[in-house]
Structure 1
Amino acid sequence: MRYQVKSLNVGKIETLTYGKRTFESAIRKQSVAKPIFLSKTGLMSDEQAYEHHGGEDKALCLYPYDYYPYWQEIVHPFSETALFGENLTVEGLKEDNAHIGDIFSFGEAIIQVSEPRNPCYKLAAKYEVPDMVVRMRDTGYTGFLFRVLKEGMVSSNDDLVLLESDPHQVSVALVNEVKFFERFNKAKLEKVLAIEALSESLRAPLLKQYQSDKTNEWS
């Protein structure tokens, strides 16, 4: 399977003020046309303001272009690229058909899905949409993250090509379910925790959920 990259985006850390909030962020990413080096920690020239926004398990952020029409009447100013500060705007690859552990080629690089993106208050502040995080959570339109298995040059002209689908077939959407809605569903948590490729930063809280004596009333 091939998925078209609509844009490849990088940004620098800035001090931004939106409404009453001031914070450091590289959320205002710009698309780049020329090839760029993708290392284990991300795209060259791209910066991350906080530790929990980067690292080898979170080297690259993808947001599906398929959801842009949904946000068009909600987000202002609207942009056709890097709407949510993602590195990759991609068509056709979404939370329901991307699985934790799936491996893709991207230009010279090889990347692997590691976890869903966690909706951030900075997006709500940037667009002055107070319920942005809730909207992302409830729709499941979060995007997701990759680790880099092999470094190399990449460009917006390179498709993402599925090389290997993880045998557990646990979608990013399922992980979002146990993160946000079915936090103590033991069966679903077992499926997620069985995946070796799951990021360590997410494994820890999910393991605590699994070990809890709480249960979902509907599970």
Structure 2
Amino acid sequence: MKYKAFPLKSINVGRIETLHYGEKTLKTAMRKRPITEPAYVSKTGFLEDQQEFKGHGGTEKALCLYPSEHYTYWQEILEGVENHTALFGENLSSTGITEDNTHIGDIFQLGEAVIQVTEPRTPCHKIATRYNVPDLARLMRDQGNTGFLLRVLEEGYVNPGDALYLKERDATQVSVSFVNHVKFFDPKNQEKIEEILAVDGLSKTLRKSLEKRIANKFV
């Protein structure tokens, strides 16, 4: 069977390091670089990749993808974007895949690995510190260009230059954009939350959070 291909601008990994931005110091693995040789993807992500913050990584957030099309928007806000790789510390800098046309539960082939979309990425303060733009996380939320996270269904090697191949669209067709909108702008809409919870591929972490909202009656 022939699958639709989406080229990747780069496939990126990084190690934890201490970086200095003005008067602020960050311990982070955000400064990722493209792989130059085959890299193995395990259930928790690339073996060569590290995560400093406990809220990142793990089996439900093993990989992060960010659409390179969004780079154009950030050129007027951030410095040096035109020469940047892994702008927001993503493992996969994609082309043709966006929050609007990708759904929770969609399954892709990446080299030998098989991966599945689990939830939108939640922007954190470290990206704001890195670029010295205090409201950067808010801008990402408002624009909806957050990128998203994936789990690894089948482990395997990935080579530089590999593309993503769409293997299966999730039947529920709940887009990443839809989930972003509910999370950030319509957090008390029980009907929409239940629509998200109906997606089998939803991450366990986000599922737990949304179920808690309903159980607590959005208090």
Q: TM-score, normalised by structure 2?
A: 0.94
Counterpart check, 1:96 vs 2:100 = yes
Matches of 2:71 and 2:160 in 1, distance apart? 18
**Deviations 1:158-208 (Å, cap 9, x if unpaired)?**
111111111111001111111100001111101101112111111111112
Name the SS for the 1:53 alignment partner: coil
- Cα drift, residue 23 of structure 1: 2.7
Gaps in structure 2 of 5+ consecutive residues: none
For 2:126, the equivalent position in structure 1 comes to 122
* One-letter amino acid of the counterpart of residue 76, structure 2: E
Counterpart pick for 1:65 among 52, 68, 71:
68
For 2:57, the equivalent position in structure 1 comes to 54
Task: Compare 17-26 and 173-182 and name the one that shifted more.
Answer: 17-26
* One-letter amino acid of the counterpart of residue 138, structure 1: D
For 2:140, the equivalent position in structure 1 comes to 136
Q: 1:1-219, aligned counterparts within 5 Å?
A: 1-78=4-81, 79-214=83-218
Gaps in structure 1 of 5+ consecutive residues: none
Matches of 1:27 and 1:187 in 2, distance apart? 36
Matches of 1:56 and 1:188 in 2, distance apart? 26
Name the SS for the 2:48 alignment partner: coil
Q: Percent identity?
A: 53
- Cα drift, residue 214 of structure 1: 4.5
Matches of 2:217 and 2:119 in 1, distance apart? 25
Task: Compare 12-21 and 63-72 and name the one that shifted more.
Answer: 12-21
Task: Compare 175-184 and 201-210 and name the one that shifted more.
Answer: 201-210
**CA RMSD for the aligned pairs?**
1.3
* One-letter amino acid of the counterpart of residue 136, structure 1: M
Name the SS for the 1:146 alignment partner: strand
Matches of 2:138 and 2:7 in 1, distance apart? 28
